[in-house]
């Protein structure tokens, strides 16, 4: 499984539709301060179901919608689509390619879709939850979080890795069973 494309439209500083093509392996995003590198990572977290405005570095969820600049008026919606190569079937869905999309309207409504079919946020979270992707996962290490990982005790660091690997929930289940 790997990420193929990420399309942002009206998301934070990306007013015009912008598509990033990703190859298997490592992708680096480079650019001057304030050019939108972290906004790309925010878009990834957002389309995968992130619900915390703070995690997205905003005060309210509507802060993800392009707020306008001196030369460009604000937009009424933010849209992000992520296309994932699922040829290896890592995602529990019968498609070799899966596109998840999320739209937020300035009036407050939201829309979610999997391969163009409207769905609930929960469906996207469910689809990703066993893949090591998705919300509240340490798969995305934010700019300030690197310090926390470096300063962590060996036990805490093991927790981060287990969570990212998707085995923390099994450990919790095991601990619960042993307590009985």
Nearer residue to ligand ATP within complex by CB, 38 or 99: 38
Q: How far is the CB of 69 from Mg ion (least distance, A)?
A: 19
Distances (CA, A) of 5 to 39, 46, 81, 100, 155: 15, 15, 8, 11, 36
Are 114 and 128 in contact, with CB atoms under 8 Å apart? no
Partner in contact with 156, chosen from Mg ion, ligand ATP, none, beta carbon below 5 to 8 Å by kind? none
Stretch that binds ligand ATP, among 29-37, 125-133, 145-153, 157-165 (CB under 6 A): 29-37
Give one word for 104, left, alpha or beta, with left for phi > 0 and alpha for psi -120 to 50: beta
Distance of CA 107 to the CA centre of its chain: 23
Residue 71 labeled ligand binder:
no
Q: Is 5 in the site for Mg ion (CB under 5 A)?
A: no
Partner in contact with 34, chosen from Mg ion, ligand ATP, none, beta carbon below 5 to 8 Å by kind? ligand ATP
Partner in contact with 90, chosen from Mg ion, ligand ATP, none, beta carbon below 5 to 8 Å by kind? none
């Amino acid at each position: 499984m790997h990420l193929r494309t990420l399309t942002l439209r009206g998301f934070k500083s990306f007013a015009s539709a912008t598509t990033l093509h990703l190859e298997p392996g490592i992708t680096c995003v480079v650019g001057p301060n304030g050019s939108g590198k972290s906004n790309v990572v925010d878009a990834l977290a957002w389309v995968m179901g992130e619900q915390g405005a703070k995690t997205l570095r905003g005060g309210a969820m509507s802060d993800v919608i392009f707020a306008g600049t001196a030369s460009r008026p604000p937009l009424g919606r933010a849209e992000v689509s992520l296309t994932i190569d699922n040829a290896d079937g890592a995602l529990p869905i019968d498609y070799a390619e899966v596109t998840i999309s999320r739209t937020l309207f300035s009036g407050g409504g939201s829309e979610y879709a999997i391969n163009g079919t409207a769905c609930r946020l929960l469906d996207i979270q469910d689809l990703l939850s066993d893949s090591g992707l998705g919300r509240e996962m340490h798969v995305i290490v934010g700019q300030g979080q690197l310090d926390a990982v470096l300063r962590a005790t060996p036990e805490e660091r093991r927790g981060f890795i287990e969570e990212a690997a998707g085995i923390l929930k099994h450990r919790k289940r095991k601990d619960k069973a042993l307590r009985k």
